[in-house]
Structure 1
Amino acid sequence: MFGDLDLIEITDKLLLTLAGSGPFDRGYRYFMDGRVATFTSSERRTAATVSGTRMYRVELRHSESQLDGGCDCPASEGIDFCKHCVATALKLRDVQSSGTSGETRTDNAILENYLVQQDAKTLTAHLLDVLPRDPLLRERLRQQAEFAVGVTSAKRLKQAITKVTRPGNIVEHVKVVAYFRRLEATLQGISSIADRVPADVLLETALHGMQRLNRALEQIDDSGGYRDNAQYDLRTLHIQALTAIGWSPKQRAEHLLEVTLEDQWDQFSGVPHDYADALGAAGLGAFYAAVERRLDQLPSVKRTAKSENKWPHRRLIHYLMKRAEQQQDWDAMIALEKRTATTDIDFTRIASLCLRKTDPAGAAEWLTKADAIDPNNKCLRMADWAVVHAQRGEWEAAVASQEAVFKQKADYDTYRRLMEYATQAGQAAAVREASVAYLQKGNPKGWWSDENHAYTLALIFHDEHNWLALKETAVNRIKSPKRLLDAARWLADPAPGEAIHVYEQSVNAFIAEKKKRSYQTAARVLIESRPSFNAVSASAFDDCVVRLRSEHCRKPSFIAVLDAKVPFPAKRP
Structure 2
Amino acid sequence: MAGFSEGELRALAGVRSFERGLGYLDAVSGVEVGDGAVTAVVYGTDVYEVELTLGEGTGVLGWCGCPYGQEGNFCKHCVAVGLTVLRHAQEIPRQRAAAKARASGLEAWLTALSRDELLALVREQVAGDRELHRRLELRAAASRCDLGTVRERVLALIDPRPFARYGYVEYADAAGYARQVAEAADALRALTAAGQATQAAGLAEEAIGALGKVYGEIDDSDGMVGQAAHAVVDAHLHACRGARPDPQRLAAWLVDHVLGDGSDVTDLDPLDYADVLGPAGLARMRQLAEKARRRSPRGWAEQCLMERLVKAEGDVDALVALYAKDLLPSGATHLHIAEELDAAGREDEALAWAERGLRDCAQEAHVDGRLVDYVCARYMRANRMTEVVSLRRDRLRAERSLAAYQQLRTAAGAAGCWGSEREAALTILREDARQGRSGRYGGSVLMDALLDDQDVDAAWREASGGAGDRQWQQLADLSREARPADALTVYLRLVEQLKEPTGDRVYEHMARLLLGARDCHRALDTLNDFTAYLAVLRADLKRRRKLMTILDRHGL
What TM-score range do you get, normalising by the shorter chain?
Answer: 0.5 to 0.7
Q: Following the alignment from structure 2 to structure 1, what is the Cα–Cα distance between the partners of residues 316 and 285? A: 22
The aligned residue for residue 329 of structure 2 is 345
User: Shift in Å at residue 235 of structure 1?
Assistant: 0.6
Contact 1:386/1:397 (8 A) holds in 2: no
Structure-2 separation of matches of 1:504 and 1:116: 66
Match of 1:260 among 258, 276, 279: 258
**C-alpha distance in structure 1 between counterparts of 2:483 and 2:316, whole Å:** 50
Deviations along 1:311-336, one digit per CA (max 9) or x if unpaired, are 56413223247659xx9x86564233
Q: CA deviation at 1:409?
A: 3.0
Query: What's the secondary structure of 2:242's corresponding residue?
Result: coil
Query: Is it true that 1:403 corresponds to 2:393 in the alignment?
Result: yes
Matches for 1:1-400 after TM superposition, within 5 Å:
12=10, 15-16=13-14, 19=16, 22-26=19-23, 51-52=42-43, 55-56=47-48, 85-88=75-78, 110-117=98-105, 142-149=130-137, 151-152=140-141, 153-162=150-159, 164=161, 176-187=170-181, 189-190=183-184, 196-198=190-192, 200=197, 207-219=205-217, 222=219, 225-226=220-221, 228-243=223-238, 246-248=242-244, 254=251, 259-269=257-267, 271=269, 283=275, 290=281, 293-297=284-288, 310=299, 313-320=302-309, 333-338=319-324, 340-341=325-326, 345=329, 349-350=333-334, 353-354=337-338, 357=342, 358=347, 359-365=350-356, 368=359, 370=360, 377=364, 380=367, 384=371, 388=375, 391=379, 395-400=385-390
8 A Cα contact 1:503 1:525, kept in partner = no
Q: Which amino acid aligns with 1:354?
A: A
Query: Aligned partners of 1:491 and 1:312: how far apart in 2?
Result: 54
Tell me how far apart the structure 1 counterparts of residues 373 and 210 of structure 2 sit (CA, whole Å): 51
Structure 1 Cα separation of the partners of residues 40 and 103 of structure 2: 22
Change (3 A) 1:519 1:346: closer
The residue type paired with residue 225 of structure 2 is: A
Asked if 2 retains the 8 angstrom alpha-carbon contact of 1:350 and 1:366, the reply is: yes
Q: 1:166 to 1:513 in 2, by over 3 A?
A: same
Change beyond 3 A, Cα 1:348–1:322: same
In structure 2, do the counterparts of structure 1 residues 231 and 352 end up closer, same or farther at CA, with 3 Å as the change threshold?
A: closer
CA contact (8 A) 1:474 1:484 kept: yes
CA distance in 2, matches of 1:323, 1:500: 61
Q: Are the equivalent residues in 1 in contact too, given 2:192–2:200 (CA < 8 A)? A: yes
Distance 1:383 1:318, change over 3 A: closer
Distance in 1 (CA, whole Å) between partners of 2:151 and 2:402 is 59
The worse-fitting range, judged by mean Cα deviation, of 449-458 and 153-162 is 449-458
Deviations 1:168-194 (A, max 9, x none): 8657xxx62134233124235556777
Q: Does 1:566 align with 2:551?
A: yes
What amino acid sits opposite 1:182 in the alignment?
Answer: G
Contact 1:419 1:432 in 2 (8 A): yes
- Deviation of the 1:36 alpha carbon: 12
Q: What CA distance in whole angstroms lies between the structure 2 residues aligned with 1:154 and 1:489?
A: 69
CA distance in 1: counterparts of 2:490 and 2:12, whole angstroms: 19
* Residues 419, 428 of structure 1: 8 Å contact kept: yes
Residue 390 of structure 2 aligns to a residue whose secondary structure is helix
Letter in 2 for 1:246: G
Residues in 2 aligned to 1:268 and 1:499: alpha-carbon distance in whole angstroms: 60
Deviation per CA, 1:542-571: give whole Å up to 9, x if none. Answer: 9667645645765566x3113223349999
Check 1:29–1:474 CA distance in 2 against 1; reply closer, same or farther (3 A cut). farther
Counterpart in 1 of 2:421? 431
How far did residue 246 of structure 1 move? Answer: 0.8
Count of residues in Structure 1 that have an aligned counterpart in Structure 2: 479
Q: What CA distance in whole angstroms lies between the structure 2 residues aligned with 1:502 and 1:289?
A: 77
Q: Does the CA-based 8 Å contact 2:331-2:367 persist in structure 1?
A: no
Q: Which amino acid aligns with 1:334?
A: V
Check the 8 A contact 2:338/2:353 in 1, yes or no. yes
CA distance in 2, matches of 1:197, 1:541: 81
Distance 2:535 2:322 in 1: 64
| Superposed displacement of residue 230, structure 1 | 0.6
Distance across 2 between alignment mates of 1:80 and 1:542: 50
CA RMSD between the two structures = 6.1
Gaps of 5+ in 1: 1-9, 38-47, 59-68, 93-102, 122-140
Contact 2:21 2:79 in 1 (8 A): no
Question: 1:228 and 1:322, CA in 2 relative to 1: closer, same or farther beyond 3 A?
Answer: farther
Instruction: Report the CA distance shift for 1:459/1:26 in structure 2 as closer, same or farther (over 3 A).
Output: farther
Q: Scaled by the length of structure 1, what TM-score is found?
A: 0.60
Return closer, same or farther for 1:147/1:561 CA change in 2, 3 Å cut-off. same
Contact 2:443 2:468 in 1 (8 A): yes
Per the alignment, do residues 446 and 530 of structure 1 end up closer, same or farther by CA in structure 2, a change over 3 Å counting? closer
Distance 1:366 1:52, change over 3 A: closer
Q: Are the equivalent residues in 1 in contact too, given 2:151–2:203 (CA < 8 A)? A: yes
For residues 461 and 12 of structure 2, the distance between their equivalents in structure 1, rounded to whole angstroms, comes to 29
Secondary structure of 2:48's counterpart equals: strand
Amino acid at match of 1:295: R
Please tell me whether the aligned partners of residues 470 and 487 of structure 1 are also in contact (alpha carbons under 8 angstroms). Answer: yes
Q: CA deviation at 1:405?
A: 1.8
- The aligned counterpart of 1:133 is none
Structure 2: runs of 5 or more not aligned: 1-7, 51-62, 83-90, 110-128, 142-149
Deviations 1:56-114 (A, max 9, x none): 279xxxxxxxxxx9976xxx8x899999833459999xxxxxxxxxx999976752433
> Helix, strand or coil: the match of 1:477?
coil
How far apart, in 2, do the equivalents of 1:569 and 1:424 lie?
A: 43
Q: 1:382 to 1:561 in 2, by over 3 A?
A: closer
**Is the 1:187–1:230 contact (alpha carbons within 8 Å) kept by the matching residues of 2?**
yes
Which of the two has higher C-alpha Rg?
2
CA distance in 2 between counterparts of 1:525 and 1:70 reads: 33
Whole-Å separation in 1 of the counterparts to 2:170 and 2:307? 32
1:521 aligned to 2:501?
A: no
Q: Percent identity?
A: 14
